[in-house]
């Protein structure tokens, strides 16, 4: 049965991005350090990385797709170059309509302007039996958690305290979780929770 | 070589206590849930629990020792009954002087009114070759982290999101950590960090 999952990298103090995010520095100051395990230990973390990119469809926020400067800059095709790592349909929550973008390698960006429920419905249909992954950013994660739509929360905790930035689990109320499994390498602790 | 350590139970969103702490409910609403692993899975967590109680001396804040109602209530001998679980010298940071309290089983409470450096010096002397553990609460943890006195931070992450309460790692700036080890049971993830 298809699940709704989210894989989010956080600091020990719960930040998913550092302060002062910008087009040049989309993860904010020190935000890159949250993901060192992906780039410096890809072999040791292969099973986790494979699972992250195994979803049947993804949902992301407008700011995760690209910097928002009012009208669409139709030259902008996302942060990821011509072949994004999703290889699946990606539904981008947006306020302005835009034609779908078909990228290389199976990724298509579809822009959804009628809310998170609609995006989820479209993503479920596109994913079929595979999972739907809420890719981020923080505000989108929080909206889906608050609405009770998330089955599994998978945190990837990097060994640093950021002290400032964008906190992942603010404003989601209190959640009861069931701990499903824990693994670790030198640069990360992976914790998987079922949301009850 | 003697280290300065801290073992702190936190929620997934980083709270070490729930909201509305009181004499009747010292850990705040839902705060007890942070420590279910200790009481419901003592065998599975035996190695961790044994280590927590193996320090040569402890430091705690005034509020962790007991509710502060102005003058000392000298009938109050802590939350833990006649034989507290420390079995070692405990240095309580306080604003008002009080005679040391000798309890059963090796615990003595010594009240230190001249600051965190003095308490650490006394605790190090009492601990000898064994570790000094900063037992809490949150404000004391933060003071020692800010002052750069902590060698090892050991977090015990319980599977719940509290949403409100007392956040452990606020106001300690940014810290670089080295992840030393991770273990888990059904009700907790134990992560041990060296503070760099």
Residue B96 lies in a domain: yes
Note whether A178 contacts B159, CB cutoff 8 Å. yes
Question: Could B175 and A160 be called an inter-chain contact, meaning their C-beta atoms sit closer than 8 Å?
Answer: yes
In a domain, A77, yes or no: no
B72 located within any domain: no
Residues β-bridged to residue B167: B15
Residue B56 lies in a domain: yes
Give the structural domain span for B89.
4-66+83-195
Asked if residues A88 and A58 have their Cβ atoms less than 8 Å apart, the reply is yes
pLDDT tens sequence across B120-164: 999 999 999 999 999 999 999 999 999 999 999 999 999 999 999
Please report which confidence band the pLDDT of residue B74 belongs to, taking 50, 70 and 90 as the band edges: confident
Per residue in A19-75, pLDDT tens? 999 888 889 999 999 999 999 999 999 999 999 999 999 999 999 999 887 888 888
d(CA A181, CA B131): 31
pLDDT at A24: 85
Whether A78 is covered by a domain: the verdict is no
Residue of A nearest to B167 (CA): A13
A159/B178 touch (CB, cutoff 8 Å), yes or no: yes
CATH of residue A170: 3.40.430.10
A 154-183 residues inside an 8 A Cβ radius of B:
155, 157, 159-164, 168-170, 172-179, 181-183
Task: Please report, for residues A29, A31, B35, B55, B193, the alpha-carbon distance to residue B136 in angstroms, rounded to integers and kept in the order given.
Answer: 30, 29, 14, 14, 17
- pLDDT tens across B79-128, in order? 999 999 999 999 999 999 999 999 999 999 999 999 999 999 999 999 99
Of A14, A30, A189, the CB nearest to B13: A14
% of chain B surpassing 90 pLDDT: 90
Asked if residue A76 belongs to a domain, the reply is: no
For B160: left if phi > 0, alpha if psi spans -120 to 50, otherwise beta; the answer is: beta
Condensed to tens digits (0 to 9), the pLDDT of residues B20-43 reads 998 888 899 999 999 999 999 999
Is there a domain that residue B77 lies in? no
Euclidean distance between CA atoms B182 and B186, whole angstroms: 14
For residue B2, is pLDDT > 70? Answer: yes
Contact (CB, 8 A) for B144 and B110:
no
What is the ipTM score, two decimals?
A: 0.94
Residue B167 burial (CB count, 10 A): 20
pLDDT of residue B22: 86
In a domain, B71, yes or no: no
Distance CA A58, CA A103 (A): 14
Residue A35 contacts B, CB cutoff 8 Å: no
Residue B67 contacts A where some CB pair is shorter than 8 Å: no
Q: How far is B108 from chain A (nearest CA, A)?
A: 33
Q: What is the pLDDT of residue B136?
A: 93
Q: Write out pLDDT tens, residues B175-192.
A: 999 999 999 999 999 999
The number of distinct structural domains making up chain A is 1
Q: Which two tokens stand for residue A136?
A: 């981020």
CA distance B10 to B26: 15
φ and ψ of A47, to 5 deg: -60, -40
């Amino acid at each position: 049965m298809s699940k709704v999952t989210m894989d989010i990298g956080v600091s020990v103090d719960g930040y998913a991005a550092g302060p002062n995010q910008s087009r040049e520095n989309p993860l904010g100051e020190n935000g890159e350090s949250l993901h060192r395990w992906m780039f410096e230990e890809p072999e040791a973390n292969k099973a986790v990385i494979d699972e992250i990119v195994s979803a049947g469809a993804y949902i992301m926020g407008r700011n995760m797709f690209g910097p928002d400067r009012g009208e669409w800059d139709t030259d902008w095709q996302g942060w990821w170059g011509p072949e994004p790592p999703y290889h699946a349909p990606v539904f981008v929550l947006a306020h302005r309509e835009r034609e779908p973008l078909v990228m290389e390698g199976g990724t298509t960006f579809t822009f959804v302007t009628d809310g998170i429920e609609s995006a989820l419905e479209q993503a479920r249909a596109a994913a079929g039996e595979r999972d739907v992954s809420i890719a981020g950013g923080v505000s989108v994660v929080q909206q889906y958690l608050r609405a009770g739509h998330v089955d599994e929360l998978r945190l990837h905790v990097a060994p640093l305290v950021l002290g400032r930035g964008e906190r992942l689990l603010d404003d989601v109320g209190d959640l009861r979780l069931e701990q499903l499994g824990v693994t670790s390498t030198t640069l990360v602790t992976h914790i998987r929770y079922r949301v009850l």
